[in-house]
Amino acid sequence: MDKRPIGVFDSGLGGLSVIKELNRVLPDENIIYFGDTGRVPYGTRSAETIVKYARQDEKFLLSHDVKLIIAACGTVSSVAGFTANELPVPFIEVVTPAAKAAVKATKTNRIGVLGTAATVNSNSYKNAMLNFNPELTVVQNACPLFVQLVENGWIDRDDEVTVATAKRYLKPLCEAGVDTVILGCTHFPAIKEIIGDVMGDSVTLINSGEQAALAAAEYLTTNYLLGEGGRRRYFVSDRVQSFASTASILLGSDIEDDVEMINIDSFGG
């Protein structure tokens, strides 16, 4: 029994898709979440800046004596995953678990990847999947506006702006006839229904946040690190109320009393 919390970080609200799944598969674990709402999005930043932000986020979580860190951010996982080598605790990223799930799910060997510009440009998901199956055809598209739409709460299934944006972003994947799509940014599951409506019922959507949560559950179980307590604490770098309002919708419960703002710059970089 290890009562230390799991640490989870993301550029903003997106990592809550990981929290939602952790609530399902590891309800008794204590969790510390950091959403870098003051510097979102990460996906449009330089590699150097992304690495700096990742290290600061990790240092903050380590200050809470976490037993495991989950980079609930496709951009960090793709561009700064090597920072795991600097950590004194285990590290789980979102790319590898989602890539494995997509390769297993596809029946036509045609897979789409949606992510931020930094994630798509890194080819992280593509390379990971081709390592599992070199015969795949992988179609990628950067969807930077999705992050801002989710951060601003434009997530209703019939939201005209978000639906129109999805149709434009998903057109190349539809034309390519993919049968599986990786939601390669943890913000994207918040609009999974919209993406599913555009792609059609025959296309399987892989939630990278869900796969990371399942990987975390497997690791903790295998290594006898499961804990107890079930407390969730949320930290942000800007605007507690804005985060809490949208987060409560995404998680299905009021978390405002559990959210605090911190100065992330005080954690070096």
Q: Which residue out of 8, 13, 73, 205 is catalytically annotated?
A: 73
**pLDDT, position 269:** 62
Can you give the pLDDT at residue 37? 96
Q: Looking at 76, 113, 155, 185, which residue is catalytic?
A: 185
- Domain boundaries, given as residue ranges, for the chain: 6-93+210-267, 95-209
- Tokens 């690190």 sit on residue: 225
* Amino acid of residue 197: D
Taking only the tens place, the pLDDT of each residue in 31-41 is 999 999 999 99
Q: How would residue 1 be classed by pLDDT, with cut points 50, 70 and 90?
A: confident
Nearest-CA neighbor of 114 among 54, 182, 165, 56?
182
Work out the percent of the chain whose per-residue pLDDT is above 70. 100
The pLDDT, as a whole number, for residue 173 is 98
Please give the pLDDT value at position 88.
98
Does 185 qualify as catalytic in the annotation? yes
How far, CA to CA in Å, does 249 sit from each of 17, 30, 190?
A: 12, 21, 10
* Equal CATH topology for 6-93+210-267 and 95-209: yes
174 is catalytic: no
Q: For 139-178, what is each residue's pLDDT tens digit?
A: 999 999 999 999 999 999 999 999 999 999 999 999 999 9
CATH architecture of 95-209: 3-Layer(aba) Sandwich (3.40)
Q: Does the pTM exceed 0.75?
A: yes
Could you say which architecture CATH assigns to the domain 6-93+210-267?
3-Layer(aba) Sandwich (3.40)
- pLDDT tens digit string along 46-98? 999 999 999 999 999 999 999 999 999 999 999 999 999 999 999 999 999 99
Which pLDDT belongs to residue 133?
97
